[in-house]
Amino acid sequence: MDIAKLVDDYLVKNVENRVTEPHGVSCSGLDKCNRKIIYGLLRAIPSVPDPKFLKVLENGNAVHKRIQGYLRGMGILEGNFICQDCGAITKGISITHCSECKSFYLNYEETSIMKNGLSGRPDAIINKDGERYIGEIKSTKDRYFYSSPPWHYLYGRQIQAYMLMTGIKKAFLIYENKDNQAWKIIPIEYNPKEIKSIQLKIDTLRDYIKRKILPIRIPQNCKYCNYKTICDSNKTFEDIQKETKITFEEFNKNI
Ligand code: SF4
Ligand SMILES: [Zn+2]
């Protein structure tokens, strides 16, 4: 039995079977090329992901869960808590038992938001004595953790998008070193200039959708792009839309 291959097949199958909900521009993907974002909005089928990459993502999710667990235990984690016994969702801050069946077995679920053409799930909404913050959790290898900071800019825009959607104007990045669990906490203030640039990007994307055209190719990490095959093909916006039967009703709401 080749257990490694079986695990890889299982991971890929899980991704292929995942049902994607209507979504806007992902807050974490705002810096991607416009063409790639439009493929995502059209729900074009991306190439099969590399199982190794999926394992890296799963590892990141496990870090999120652990840190969310600390915040929940401290009584400051706001959001949806799903009952493992009856499935009911109880909203609130560090909820301890289900509002329906009183079970103590609750799982925290990141709040999924779609607004202003954007969609995303902040890793944590922290509510300390009524003061609310966006908490974004990232983990990285030792050599990046101590190097000069490209991360500050990269993750800064994502957090600004969460601020735009939630109206919460304070945030911080919890940045963890994967090798030794050291932390850096980076406070992030609301930045009207960055917000404006996000809104402009959304307007540009709306325009492509209205005109039913794909943005021109601006090669940017194309080698690793999961839409490279479709991007290299001759498929037009309308060809893809016919295949996926996607409408942009959700995206165009709440401008
Ligand atoms: S292959 Fe390159 S140009 Fe095409 S969508 Fe991907 S990143 Fe953009
Ligand atoms: Zn319950």
Ligand 1, atom 7: closest residue by C-alpha: 222
Q: Which domains does the chain have, with CATH numbers?
A: 49-109 (2.20.28), 114-214 (3.90.320.10)
Q: What is d(CA 41, CA 254) in angstroms, rounded to the nearest whole number?
A: 16
- Residue 147 in contact with residue 139, Cβ under 8 Å? no
Instruction: Determine the distance separating the centroid of ligand 2 and the alpha carbon of 19, expressed in angstroms.
Output: 25
Instruction: Determine the distance separating the centroid of ligand 1 and the alpha carbon of 216, expressed in angstroms.
Output: 9
DSSP 8-state class, residue 130? T
- What is the identity of the amino acid at 105? Y
Q: Could you give the 3-state DSSP secondary structure of residue 96?
A: coil
Residue 227 CA: which ligand 1 atom is closest? 6
pTM across the whole model: 0.89
Ligand 1, atom 5: closest residue by C-alpha: 36
Q: What is d(CA 5, CA 52) in angstroms, rounded to the nearest whole number?
A: 11
Q: What residues line ligand 1, using a CB cutoff of 6 Å?
A: 33, 35-36, 217-222, 225, 227-228, 231
Q: Could you give the 3-state DSSP secondary structure of residue 203?
A: helix
pLDDT (tens digit, 0 to 9) for every residue of the chain, 255 residues total? Answer: 999 999 999 988 887 777 666 678 999 889 889 999 999 999 898 888 889 989 988 999 999 999 999 999 999 999 999 999 999 999 999 999 999 999 999 999 998 898 889 999 999 999 999 999 999 999 888 888 887 665 665 667 899 999 999 999 999 999 899 999 999 898 999 999 999 999 999 999 999 999 999 999 988 789 889 899 999 998 999 999 999 888 887 777 654
Instruction: Determine the distance separating the centroid of ligand 1 and the alpha carbon of 34, expressed in angstroms.
Output: 8
Instruction: Determine the distance separating the centroid of ligand 1 and the alpha carbon of 237, expressed in angstroms.
Output: 14
Degrees to nearest 5, angle at CA 177 with 173 and 179: 165
- Residue 26 in contact with residue 41, Cβ under 8 Å? no
Ligand with an atom nearest the CA of residue 105 = 2
Q: Which residues contact 49 (CB under 8 A, 6 or more apart)?
A: 12, 15, 226
